Each structure stands twice: as C-alpha cells, then as structure tokens.
Amino acid sequence: MKKTLLCALASALLFAGCSKNEIISPDPTLTQQALAVMKTDSLGGAAAALAVQGIAQIDASTVQQTIKGFGGANIVAWTGDLTSTQRNTAFSPTNGIGLSIVRVRVPNSSSEFAAEKATIDACKSFGGSAIASAWSAPASMKTNGSIVGGKIKTASYANYAAHLSAFNTAVGGLAAISPTNEPDYKVNYESMELTAPEVADFVAAQGSNCGAPIMAPEPFQMNQTYINTYLSNATAKSKTSFVCGHIYGKTPYNLGNIGKPVWMTEHYTNSNISGDDWSNAMTAAKEIHDCMNSGWSAYVWWYIRRSYGPISESGNIQKIGYIMAHYARYVRPGYTKISCTSNPSTGVYVTAYKSGTKLVLVIVNQNPSTTFQNFSYSGITVSGFNRYFTTSATNLSSNNFAVSGGSFGINLAASSVTTLVSY
C-alpha cells in the first residue's frame, strides 16, 4: 500500500511540475494528506507544501438569482461626465472593466435631463442598462420648499411622477427608477426624509406613472425593518419591480423570501484610500462575493471615476476596477447564479454562474500564501477553462487548462481574485 501511494505521488508530482497552468486533476483514491504533500507553490515560486481543504461543489442544475449586473454611479452635476474614452474603459467587457449598470441622479430641473444621456447610451451600447435615483423632488413639490430634507406633498404626487417619467423619456429609457435615495438618512444636502409608509404611499398612488419600473425603497443600510414595512403596503409592493438599498455599515445578508429581486445600488469601502490600494480592493472583492452569496442580483459602486473608485480621476483602471472586472466582464446581465460551496476552505470564497452551457467561477483567496483548492461540478459539461487572475502585482493575467471527469484542482495565487470561464 505504501509503495502504491508513493508511486501515485511521484506521478502526480511530475504532472504538477510540468503544468504551466498550475492545474492538478486529483486522483480520488489519494488521501487529503497525500494531496497536501504533492501540491507545490508554483505560482509564487516557493517549494513549500500547500494545504488542501474542502471541495467547492458546483451544481449547475440548482439555479438561484438572475444577475442584473455590476456597475457604478455617474452624477454629471456633481462630478462632471465621463469622457468618451472613460466610457469605453468603464463599460467595455473586452478591453475595459465591463460595468453593465450605470446609476444616475434624477435632476431637480428638466433643463439638466439631457446631460445624463451620453453615458447612459454608452453603457447600453455595451449591453448594459441604466438605473436612476432621485435625491429630491423639485422644491416646489415638497413640504418645506427646499431640495434639502422635507417630504413630497401629497398634492404633488402626480406632478412628481410626471417629473420622473419625463426624465425617463429624456434619457431614452431606464431599467428602473427610485423615487427617493436613502429616505431614512438625515443629511444637510439634497435629500428627502420619508418613512417607509410614506415611500409606499407614493408608489402605491403613482408607481405606475413614473415611466420606468420602480426600484425601492433604497434605505441607507438595507434596513430590513424599513424594507418589510414598505412591502407591507400590498399595492406598493405590486408596483415595485426591484427591492434596493445600500450597505453603509452593513454586512450583506439574505432578506428572506420577499418575492422581488434585490439590488445593492450604492456603496464604497473607504473614500480616504486610493482605489489602487490592494488591501482595500480585496475588501471590495469579498463584499461583492457576499452580496451575490446573499441572493442579490446587482452590485453598484458609488462614483465610477474617483480617487477611490474603479477608475481614477485621470481615467485609468485602478485595483478596485480590476476586481470588479472579475465579475462584470465575465458574469453578464442575464446570467444566473447557481449552487456552489461559498467558503470551501479557510480564506477561500467562491460563487458560480452559468449562461447556457457556459460556467463561470469567481474565486476570492484571502490567504497570504498560495492555496490549493479542489472543485467538483455537475449539471453541466465542461472541457476546460480560460483563467484570469489579479494580485497586487498583476492585473487579469490569463491562461487556460483542460478538465474532465467532473473535478479539478487549482493553485490560487496568494491574496488574489480568480475568474474561470468554461469553454
């Protein structure tokens, strides 16, 4: 028995050493301990043995949420518009980040509507869509006569719905519109302060007249009590297409069976840290994983172009952008998330998606050293994968490898994000 195991190990080591793609198809007869001996840190160039832990099991026959996309905000009045080159950088899935959602602000004045259209059109040209949030109704439609704070006058509900609808028409059609951004968060800038029943009252009365499907109620911390109270208005719920919210100070979580797709429509991790900071980018990677694993269908960063964003002020892709590209480029609108072991090994996080016969895996490795990870897949036929990985030192490096038999193993670079796309 010992001789047989040593021969198997020798054969496996020879295969591992010859594979420039660092892929190992494990022999199911070998023990986990034997596998741990035979893996070497070829990605990092070290000879230390790698730990082998649990198997990431993918079941393509178990379909979960449909993905709307991954995106960011472009608020022309506050930061200026993206340039033509920056739009390509943001939205192209071929040579850019591949963002498939642009979030815009509904201006208070119709004279500002047209300014949002160019970037909306650019996102759509790459297969994406636009969503819009209103920070405030026009001052004349509010109880305090100001764009800061206050509420929508009940008598102005119809006029406000017409205002939202006119914006939808002016920009050529939105995937969804939110009548109020963060209504549960008191601030000293453009805003409205609305309880969940007040948001629901407006949607119940005028949700069908806003020009685009309603996404609501968009609370500051994806507050479930606020959301459930809003949805308790049956008429408002029937007129709401998507439940949305932000996750400032909140860990993503499953909202339960609320009967609507859930979108995370705004967050950034730290405005005081550059978007090129690798530790911060890895925090964002895990956050996106958590949103998808919570059953949510969209993840939208705050400003697309910002010092702390996916694109720098000079228009270059930053580490945050490359991390988002691992999802946005390869998990396109309409893909479905499928069943997958989300945390198969210490520090390793996996989500899986499919579109027809294509399988996509996004893997976050938080460990400070190369980690070997086993995978198994069922419900789909795969002959190989194109592999893309980003570390602190490299961006979307690529190679490919063949698989068979429903399982494979791969060395994950230390502190990295890897996307596998089947062929």
Taking the C-alpha atoms of residue 288 and residue 328, their distance in angstroms, rounded to an integer, is 11
Burial (0-12, 13-18, 19+ Cβ within 10 Å), 2 = exposed
| The two structure tokens encoding residue 1 | 């028995």
Per annotation, catalytic residue among 22, 182, 218, 287 = 182
The distance of Cα 306 from the centroid of its chain, to the nearest Å, equals: 18
Please answer whether residues 341 and 57 qualify as being in contact, where contact means their C-beta atoms are separated by less than 8 angstroms: yes
Q: CA angle, 375 as apex, 383 and 67 as ends, to 5°?
A: 80
Rounded CA separation 377/357 (Å)? 13
Each as own residue / partner, the long-range contacts of residues 42-51 (CB below 8 Å, 24 or more positions apart, any chain) are 42/16, 42/17, 42/370, 42/411, 43/370, 43/411, 43/412, 43/413, 43/414, 44/369, 44/370, 44/413, 44/414, 46/370, 48/369, 50/369, 50/370, 50/371, 50/372, 50/411, 51/345, 51/371, 51/372
- Helical segments of 268-344, H only: 278-293, 319-328
3-class secondary-structure state, position 261: coil
266 is catalytic: yes
Those residues whose C-beta lies under 8 Å from the C-beta of residue 32, and which sit 6 or more positions away, are: 52
Other CB atoms within a 10 A radius of the CB of residue 404 amount to: 10
Identify the active-site residue in 22, 198, 266, 287.
Answer: 266
C-beta separation of 273 from 311 below 8 A: no
Cα end-to-end span (Å), the chain: 38
**Which residue bears the tokens 């996996």?**
350
194: Cα separation from own chain's centroid: 28
Clarify whether 182 is annotated catalytic: yes
Kindly state the helix (H) or strand (E) to which residue 203 belongs, with its residue range.
helix 196-206
In angstroms, the CA 90 to CA 13 distance is: 42
Residue among 353, 412, 397 nearest 377 (CA): 353
Q: Who contacts 256 (Cβ-Cβ below 8 Å, separation ≥6)?
A: none
Rounded to whole angstroms, what are the CA distances from 251 to 107, 208, 223, 293? 30, 32, 11, 12
Question: Which residues are designated catalytic?
Answer: 182, 266
